[in-house]
Structure 1
């Protein structure tokens, strides 16, 4: 929602300042200039990126209107799921997880958290890590290196749409110059005829430069930055899982392992220590009952 608010502020301040300085708002309405800039930039965006990146860029931009992907309750559920997993390890050993990780869709351990089950990439990451722990006979250092490599690859792939949008934003001023040059060409062609409209043509040409810069720094560039910020925020769930599993593999008890994971979360999404403690105790007492 802040994306829309930011766009409204940009439009209000830029156009409001122009009108208050005795500018004529209709002078900025140059649809052909806009077609050159927006159409040219979009065409370059399509040429520069594979269909997968284009599709994800559109879906990620639309997702900004829905707010963050993982909310505070989602992280509470994730920490509780990890706590339950570590409880199984403590009681039955790593081999006790085999039936759960082979088919998480039918596992009571995972299906107890229906919201998380919709996040297929996160669940797959958790189960893949657990498979390595169960059958890989890996020490914490080896597993940490492998998980860091996987997270780096995942992060790069997730950031690709945002970087593509920011590169498209960088091209907008250039297409604004293209539109301005074409406007000057049109103006020069009028010198041999009616010269009363030369001022209008020059103004229209300058609007091209204005639109290219405004779209770059006022709309598309911030949109790409917001998409990148969301990718980093969503990546905390994977980092949370990594830290918790490594802590468990190093021999820490379930509560301490979960606390390690809780510390990786942002302050505004991190559940409080006592709140999480009470939640885990309530879940454990409910299971016992």
Structure 2
């Protein structure tokens, strides 16, 4: 919702100020210029990026506009789930989780925490790394290194749509100049026409430059930053799980491990320790 509000503010400020200064909106409506600039931008985006990046970009944009904020039920269910899993490991060992990890959507443990099941990336990360630990003994240091490398690789993959948006945004002023040059070529080919017509064609050519700059700084660059923040928020979910697993592997109590995970969450989404205790008490009751 905030993204749409921001977009409306941009449109109202730029075009409202233009009209206030005496400009005519009809002069900015140049379909040919828009086609040249946006078509070139979309084409460059498709050429420069594999299909997997374009698909991930679409998914991230959909999540950005449909949700935008952290799922309020994720952490209140993730922490109690981790507490339950660690209690099982303490009492019966890692092997007891095999049946639950094999099919979490039919697991009596995981079914108690539907919000976690609704986040496939979080669920997959947790299951994969519990399986790695169950295969053989891994030192806390090695486990920490493995998890850091995995999160780093996941972040790199998830940031590719943001980087693609940024690159296209940087090129938009150039595409605007391209459209303007084509407009000037058309103008020069009609240089013997009426002076008023020449003025109209020059104005149309300049609109191309405006559209390129507007698209860069008012759409592509802000959207690139918004996608970065989305990736950072999703990475915090994985860092939270990693911190819990590493701290628990060092022999620390489950509650201390869970608090280590809590500290990895971004400040705007991080619960206080009192809230965390309340969530865990709700699990025990």
- For Structure 1 versus Structure 2, the TM-score category normalised by the shorter chain is over 0.9
**Counterparts of 2:182 and 2:85, CA distance in 1:** 64
**Counterparts of 2:269 and 2:68, CA distance in 1:** 10
2:20 corresponds to which residue?
A: 20
Residue 103 (structure 1) aligned with residue 103 (structure 2): yes
Residue 160 (structure 1) aligned with residue 160 (structure 2): yes
**Counterparts of 2:251 and 2:80, CA distance in 1:** 18
Contact 2:73–2:115, Cα closer than 8 Å, also in 1: no
Matches within 5 A, 1:143-222: 143-222=143-222
**Counterparts of 1:173 and 1:100, CA distance in 2:** 54
Moved more, 179-188 or 23-32: 23-32
Contact 2:28–2:204, Cα closer than 8 Å, also in 1: yes
**Counterparts of 2:98 and 2:185, CA distance in 1:** 71
**Cα distance, 1:69 vs structure 2:** 5.9
2:37 corresponds to which residue?
A: 37
Contact 1:77–1:113, Cα closer than 8 Å, also in 2: yes
Contact 1:162–1:225, Cα closer than 8 Å, also in 2: yes
Moved more, 94-103 or 73-82: 94-103
1:151-182: CA deviation from partner (whole Å, max 9, x where unpaired): 11111111111211111111111110000000
**Cα distance, 1:83 vs structure 2:** 0.8
Q: Secondary structure at the residue paired with 1:252?
A: coil
Contact 1:176–1:211, Cα closer than 8 Å, also in 2: yes
1:70 corresponds to which residue?
A: 70
| RMSD (Å), alpha carbons | 1.4
1:244-286: CA deviation from partner (whole Å, max 9, x where unpaired): 000100001111111111111122212221122122123213x
**Counterparts of 2:181 and 2:282, CA distance in 1:** 69
Residue 88 (structure 1) aligned with residue 91 (structure 2): no
Residue 255 (structure 1) aligned with residue 255 (structure 2): yes
Structure 2 gaps of 5+ residues are none
**Cα distance, 1:33 vs structure 2:** 0.5
TM-score, normalised by the number of residues in structure 2: 0.96
**Counterparts of 1:281 and 1:47, CA distance in 2:** 53
Question: Structure 1 residues 92 and 154, CA, compared in 2 at 3 Å: closer, same or farther?
Answer: same
Structure 1 residue runs of 4 or more that deviate by more than 4 Å after TM superposition: none
Q: Secondary structure at the residue paired with 1:197?
A: helix
1:139 corresponds to which residue?
A: 139
Question: Structure 1 residues 98 and 62, CA, compared in 2 at 3 Å: closer, same or farther?
Answer: closer
Structure 1 gaps of 5+ residues are none
TM-score, normalised by the number of residues in structure 1: 0.94
2:123 corresponds to which residue?
A: 123
Contact 1:172–1:216, Cα closer than 8 Å, also in 2: yes
